[in-house]
């Protein structure tokens, strides 16, 4: 089982006992879901059910790089992050979300750097990250981690809200050619 560690964080598979912390710190917050394709969880019962689904989802072999994010100091679940192999030697992040009390503390940078380091260990030559055009925080994070603009997506529709959006994609070369 893969576990990543940074200065302040541990990225590892979810444990059921962490349902309350992740619910309180992330899943219940509208602002945390704003640029994501999930909806906030409204009740503790729904959070428990969501945690069961999360654990089952993370067990699938293709999801080996999906993690909850924990504070190293306290062990408290504060977010999630993941990546996947898009094609041989090319990886992409599949979302990074931290609860509102845990943003602007350098944790996003630690997570994105840990994912790119792990991808490089796995043989990646390129790593992609994307964000909605109006998600300034994600754009700034990617640029701070050395990603460079690559392309814009076609217009998409958020299935939750019907809102139209465009994705920006950035790439970081992990091996110089």
Tell if the pTM clears 0.85, that is, is over it. Answer: yes
Please report the pLDDT score of residue 177 as a whole number.
Answer: 46
Reduced to 3 states (helix: H, G, I; strand: E, B; else coil), residue 19 is helix
Please report the pLDDT score of residue 96 as a whole number.
Answer: 97
Residues in the chain: 177
pLDDT, tens digit, for every residue of 29-83?
999 999 998 999 999 999 999 999 999 999 999 999 999 999 999 999 999 999 9
What is the rounded CA–CA span in Å between residue 159 and residue 38? 10
**Judging by DSSP bridges, how do beta strands 126-132 and 66-71 pair with one another?**
unpaired
pLDDT, tens digit, for every residue of 113-168?
999 999 999 999 999 999 999 999 999 999 999 999 999 999 999 998 999 999 99
Q: Does the structure show a pLDDT above 60 at 172?
A: yes
What is the rounded CA–CA span in Å between residue 58 and residue 64? 7
Please report the pLDDT score of residue 176 as a whole number.
Answer: 55
């Amino acid at each position: 089982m893969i576990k990543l560690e940074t200065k302040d964080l541990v990225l590892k598979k979810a444990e059921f006992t962490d349902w309350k912390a992740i619910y309180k710190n992330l899943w219940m917050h509208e602002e945390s879901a704003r640029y994501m394709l999930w909806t906030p969880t409204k009740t503790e019962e729904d959070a428990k059910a969501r945690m069961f689904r999360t654990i089952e989802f993370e067990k699938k072999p293709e999801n080996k790089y999906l993690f909850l994010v924990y504070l190293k100091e306290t062990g408290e679940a504060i977010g999630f992050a993941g990546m996947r192999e898009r094609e041989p030697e090319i990886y992409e992040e599949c979302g990074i979300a931290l609860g509102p009390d845990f943003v602007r503390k350098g944790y996003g940078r630690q997570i994105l750097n840990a994912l790119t380091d792990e991808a490089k260990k796995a043989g990646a030559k390129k790593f992609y990250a994307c964000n909605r055009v109006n998600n300034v925080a994600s754009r700034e994070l990617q640029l701070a981690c050395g990603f460079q603009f690559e392309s814009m997506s076609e217009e998409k529709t958020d299935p939750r809200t019907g809102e139209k959006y465009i994705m920006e994609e950035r790439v970081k070369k992990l091996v110089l050619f």
